[in-house]
Structure 1
Amino acid sequence: MDAHAAIPASFPALVLNADFRPLSYYPLSLWSWQESVKAVFLDRVNIVSEYDRFVRSPSFEMKLPSVVSLKTYVKPALYPAFTRFNVFLRDRFTCQYCGSKDDLTFDHLIPRSRGGQTRWDNVVAACAPCNLEKGGFMPDEVRMHPTQSPYRPTVFELHRNGRLFPPNYLHESWLDYLYWDTELEP
């Protein structure tokens, strides 16, 4: 079957580093089928696994890659960028005051009005009601302490947390590369 006859977006390729670990877990490192085919032609990746779907031209035919590995190792950064999304991922998309997973925002432990800075060690995920309740107060003043003290996570820690939130679609050819390093249950 020609890839153009099917929905192309349904054939993403999982991208692995040269050590066969995903480049990222959340969001999962995926390339469109076009990006993966281009990388094959530019000799930047090895095909690890393929779909049973083909891409064709008048003079060429190839199976679409489902898993590719980079030929050159990309050294991951030790620390992630400070972003709202990464704060939520560090805190596992959970309000650090009440445990809610709804209506998340972030809260400054030491309020900005009192000199608190917007940094890893002063910001936690908080639901809107808890954020509103804490307001411009210090945690001791309103007896609201986060379940986990804010800290600067490593990329490894965010990857570990990202594995707790798998994407809606996981192709069977990806499974051997996603969770091989997680602890097994007895």
Structure 2
Amino acid sequence: MLNADYRPLSYYPLSVWCWQDAIKAVFLDRVNIVEYYDKAVRSPGFELRLPSVVSLRSFVKPTRQPAFTRFNVFLRDRFTCQYCGSRDDLTFDHVVPRARGGQTTWENVVAACSPCNLRKGSMMPDACHMWPAQTPYHPSVHDLHQNGRHFPPNYLHESWMDYLYWDTELDP
């Protein structure tokens, strides 16, 4: 799904709808069909090729500040433990533990694998000699989009390619 200006609403996860929601939006006249799949849906008196790319009829203003969610923390930290670099069994860690007054905020939470999180426990970074690879920060939507481009979804249909990453620099 694209915004009315033909930009994806989100790069990661992509703004992807199931085919039923896309068909419903077509019938409610909320979207324009931009590209089609080869398959069609049929009823006794009607046939419609499945839309593969749709654009909203009315522009949705993108959010300026990303929501503080577990997924967005992982995306900011590139799905990597900030202590050991592992990409397995991720959770999140409070750099200044909550037991010591640490807040659950962008500036105090990092992605961490379960073993590192357990090892650090409620200790301060100096006490356990565990410092995050990058200082936690409040990312912009642009930061998350940039990071999302490094983690494409498992499936990208060829009809989507002309509408993704259109604002990246082209090779000469």
TM-score, normalization by structure 1: 0.86
Q: 1:44 aligns with which of 30, 36, 39?
A: 30
1:87 corresponds to which letter in structure 2? V
Q: CA deviation at 1:89?
A: 1.0
Q: What are the within-5 Å matches in structure 2 for residues 109-128 of structure 1?
A: 109-128=95-114
1:160 corresponds to which letter in structure 2? Q
* 1:78 aligned partner: 64
* 1:62 aligned partner: 48
> Residue deviations 1:151-178, cap 9 Å, x none?
1112222122122111111100001111
Q: What are the within-5 Å matches in structure 2 for residues 37-186 of structure 1?
A: 37-184=23-170
Q: What is the SS of the residue equivalent to 2:107?
A: helix
* 1:11 aligned partner: none
% identical equivalent positions: 74
2:16 corresponds to which letter in structure 1? L
Q: CA deviation at 1:146?
A: 1.0
2:168 corresponds to which letter in structure 1? T
Q: CA deviation at 1:80?
A: 1.7
Segments of 5+ residues of structure 2 without an aligned counterpart are none
Counterpart-to-counterpart distance in 2, 1:141 and 1:161: 31
Q: Does 1:22 align with 2:8?
A: yes
TM-score, normalization by structure 2: 0.93
Q: CA deviation at 1:140?
A: 2.1
Q: Quick one: structure 1 residues 185 and 101, their matched pair in 2 at CA, closer, same or farther if it must change by over 3 Å?
A: farther
* 1:9 aligned partner: none
What is the root-mean-square deviation of aligned Cα atoms in Å? 1.5
Segments of 5+ residues of structure 1 without an aligned counterpart are 1-14
Counterpart-to-counterpart distance in 1, 2:12 and 2:89: 20
